[in-house]
Structure formats: structure tokens, C-alpha cells
């Protein structure tokens, strides 16, 4: 969990810093709202491609090599993007960064899921996800102290340092015994695995996961990649925006920890449902907030509930499939979810350009989250304490 979690932390640093860098690039490159939306969306396009390709590869060549490859891909892409001088090349490199990021997350959760006993599995995977909060906090700190004084390029170079960590991973992480045993029994077939994910036996849980992933990713990237910029649009300065988002980000950790504790008591379904409903309510109040007290309170609760829900989602997803198709099934669900991550940031940029109120925009995300709740409620089955086949 620690080794995979540090890779997760570095992923979060990249996504977190991007939200601050978008706000800074608006001023440096004189970007309009639609161009700002594309920076977030191009990363999600890469994440969709990466989740699909590397999810399939994880069932074919193993979790460990894919984890190392994706970490190198997004780290080096992030470092080179610091050297760009225009939006076009920056977007191209952000695509490759997204590929690495999108591939690493479902593969890491799959590896950890296969490495622990059933009674601890949910809690461990949520704790793995909690490294995301630490990465976001690090991103907020770097952005707050570095970007205003030293520029966005230095922040991106700092974010590229995880490439060196891939060398450490090579020697200190192993594929799960479940995967190695399955690999000896049969060689993974990509077409057969995809067909099995959509077979009669798994179609209900696949539909549930695809709807859930789409709704959660659409709302998360639509809201969080625009968070500093939205605070600026509400009338606060860029530095104050970074400061307030840092405070909101701190609430992610207790969100993860409470979800990790509750997931082995309430089960996966009810933790997801409760935390997603909390996300929807918080998003609505953040959208209507104009005064600082409501803005900070709703932002803190939004971070708390949304990231707790993410932890439960990563615990729940790999438990839907057997070992032979676990990487494929989880990766395909995440890939479809990343399609939502493409449209979320783009939609915000377009709607702001059309002068639609922030309240209305965040109401759209509320509706998306409620749709995800209904998918889990109607189609989801509890997987707590069940052995992975």
C-alpha cells in the first residue's frame, strides 16, 4: 500500500497543480474560458486512453510493469510540459501525462486489492486512495508558495520528480500471487477478456460501474479543475483563491479516513451512497456561495465527501470481477469515466463563456452525482468481506 500509495500521491500532485496552473496560464498566455477548459479535458482524453490500454496490459503482462511504465510516462510528460511556450505543445504533452495517470490509478488499486485479505481489503484500498489527498495538499502548498513567486514552470518541474521514484519501484514491488497464479493457468486474451466483461454474468455490474464512473469523474474534474478559477470568478484574488483552495483541500484527508473506517462497517454500497449525496448537497451550496463563510464551509464539505466517495469507488470497482479480467473490467470502467472527465471541464469553460451563473453550472454536477447514486442503489451489489475469485 505504501509503495503504490506514493505513486498515487505523485499522480494527485500533478492533477492538483494543474488546477492552479490553469488559473495562472489564463493570465500568462491570455487564455479564454474555452481554452482553459481544453487544458483539463485533454488530460482526461489521455486518461481515458491510458485506462483502457494499460488496464488491458495489466491482465496480459502484469500489474508491476504497467505501474512503472505509467509512472514514468506521466512524470516525464509533466517535466517536458514545463518547457513549452505555447498552448498547442502544452496540450499534446498533457495528453501523454493523462495517459500515464489514467493507466496508473486502476492498476494500482487492482494490485493492492489482490494483495490483502477480504476483511481488510476495502479499508486498505480507501487508505491507498487517501494518498491522493496528501498529493493534493502538496500541490496546493507548492502552488501557493511557488507559482506566485517563481512561476508555473518550476511547479511542473517539481511535479516531474516522481520519474526517479520509478527506479525504486522496480526493485521493491511485486505482482500479486493471485495474478501470478492465474497467469500460469492461462494466457490473457484481450478480446476474450473484453467480451467476458460484457457477458451475461457481469453485464449488470459493468453497466453500474460505467454509469457510476462517468458521473463521478464528470463532476469531479468539472468542479475541482476549475476550483481556483471559480473562486477568482466569485471575486477573490488569485493568491486568496490558492489559499482558500488549500484550506478546502485539507478536508480530503478526514474524508478518506472516515470512509476507510465506515467501509468495513456499512459496506461499499452505503458508503458510496452517503458520501455521494453529501457531495451533491455540498456542490449545490458551493455554487450559490458568494460570502466567504459559506464558500469555505461548502468547499470543505465538498472535498470531504467527494474524496471519501472516490476511496469507496476504488475499493468497490476491482471487487466486481475475477482475477483474469479484473484489470480489464476496472480499466474499461475508468476509461469510460474519463470520457466524463473530458466533458466536465469543457462544459464549465463553455458555460462560463456564455455567462451562465456558477450556481446553474454546479447544479448540473449535483444532478450527475445523484444519477451515480441511483446506479449504485438499483444495480449495485454489496461485496464486503467477499473473497476475490
Q: Looking at the 3D structure of the chain, how many domains does it have?
A: 1
Predicted pLDDT of residue 175: 78
Of 128, 98, 96, nearest in space to 110 by CA = 128
Phi, psi of 375 (to 5 degrees): -60, -45
389 falls within a domain: no
174 falls within a domain: no
The b-or-e profile of 88-127 (16+ CB within 10 A means b, else e) is eebbbbbbbbbbbbbbbbbbbbbbbbbbbeeeebbbbbbb
The C-alpha atoms of residue 138 and residue 243 are separated, in whole angstroms, by 13
Judged by DSSP in three states, 189 sits in coil
**Tens-binned pLDDT, residue by residue, of the chain (389 aa):** 777 888 778 888 887 888 788 878 888 898 888 888 888 788 888 988 988 899 888 888 888 888 888 888 888 888 899 899 888 999 999 999 989 888 887 788 788 878 887 788 888 888 888 888 888 888 888 888 888 888 889 988 888 877 677 667 666 777 777 777 776 555 557 788 889 999 999 999 999 999 999 999 999 888 887 888 888 888 887 768 878 888 888 888 899 889 988 998 898 899 999 999 999 999 999 999 888 899 899 999 999 999 899 989 988 998 899 888 888 898 899 889 988 888 888 888 889 888 899 999 999 999 999 999 999 999 988 887 676 66
Predicted pLDDT of residue 96: 93
179 falls within a domain: no
Residue 112 structural domain: 2-168+188-379
Unique residue bearing C-alpha cell 481544453: 38
173 falls within a domain: no
236 falls within a domain: yes
Predicted pLDDT of residue 389: 62
pTM: 0.78
316 falls within a domain: yes
Predicted pLDDT of residue 138: 86
Q: How many CB atoms sit inside 10 A of residue 65's CB?
A: 16
CATH number reported for the structural domain that contains residue 97 in this entry = 1.20.1250.20
18 falls within a domain: yes
Amino acid at each position: 500500500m505504501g509503495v503504490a500509495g506514493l505513486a498515487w500521491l505523485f499522480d494527485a500532485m500533478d492533477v492538483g497543480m494543474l488546477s492552479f496552473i490553469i488559473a495562472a496560464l489564463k493570465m500568462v498566455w491570455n487564455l479564454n474560458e474555452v481554452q482553459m477548459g481544453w487544458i483539463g479535458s485533454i488530460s482526461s482524453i489521455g486518461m481515458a486512453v491510458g485506462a483502457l490500454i494499460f488496464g488491458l496490459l495489466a491482465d496480459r503482462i502484469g500489474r508491476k510493469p504497467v505501474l512503472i511504465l505509467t509512472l514514468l510516462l506521466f512524470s516525464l510528460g509533466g517535466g517536458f510540459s514545463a518547457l513549452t511556450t505555447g498552448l498547442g505543445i502544452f496540450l499534446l504533452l498533457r495528453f501523454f501525462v493523462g495517459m500515464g495517470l489514467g493507466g496508473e490509478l486502476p492498476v494500482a488499486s487492482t494490485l493492492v486489492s489482490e494483495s490483502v485479505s477480504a476483511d481488510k481489503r476495502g479499508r486498505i484500498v480507501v487508505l491507498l486512495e487517501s494518498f491522493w489527498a496528501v498529493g493534493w495538499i502538496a500541490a496546493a502548498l507548492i502552488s501557493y508558495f511557488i507559482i506566485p513567486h517563481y512561476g508555473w514552470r518550476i511547479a511542473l518541474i517539481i511535479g516531474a520528480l516522481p520519474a526517479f521514484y520509478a527506479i525504486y519501484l522496480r526493485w521493491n514491488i511485486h505482482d500479486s500471487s493471485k495474478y501470478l497464479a492465474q497467469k500460469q493457468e492461462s494466457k490473457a486474451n484481450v478480446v476474450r477478456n473484453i467480451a467476458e466483461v460484457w457477458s451475461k454474468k457481469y453485464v449488470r455490474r459493468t453497466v453500474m460501474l460505467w454509469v457510476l464512473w462517468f458521473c463521478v469523474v464528470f463532476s469531479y474534474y468539472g468542479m475541482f479543475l476549475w476550483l481556483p478559477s471559480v473562486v477568482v470568478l466569485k471575486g477573490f484574488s488569485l493568491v486568496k483563491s490558492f489559499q482558500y483552495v488549500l484550506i478546502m483541500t485539507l478536508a480530503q484527508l478526514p474524508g478518506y479516513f472516515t470512509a476507510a473506517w465506515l467501509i468495513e462497517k456499512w459496506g461499499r454500497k452505503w458508503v458510496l451512497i452517503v458520501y455521494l449525496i453529501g457531495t451533491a448537497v455540498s456542490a449545490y451550496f458551493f455554487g450559490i456561495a458568494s460570502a466567504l463563510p459559506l464558500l469555505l464551509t461548502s468547499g470543505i464539505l465538498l472535498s470531504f465527501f467527494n474524496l471519501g466517495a472516490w476511496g469507496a469507488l476504488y475499493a468497490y470497482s476491482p471487487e466486481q470481477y475475477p482475477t483474469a479480467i479484473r484489470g480489464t473490467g476496472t480499466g474499461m470502467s475508468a476509461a469510460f469515466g474519463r470520457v466524463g472527465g473530458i466533458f466536465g471541464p469543457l462544459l464549465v469553460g463553455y458555460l462560463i463563456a456564455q455567462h451562465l451563473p456558477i450556481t446553474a453550472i454546479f447544479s448540473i454536477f449535483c444532478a450527475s452525482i445523484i444519477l451515480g447514486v441511483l446506479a449504485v442503489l438499483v444495480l449495485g451489489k454489496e461485496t464486503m468481506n467477499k473473497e476475490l475469485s
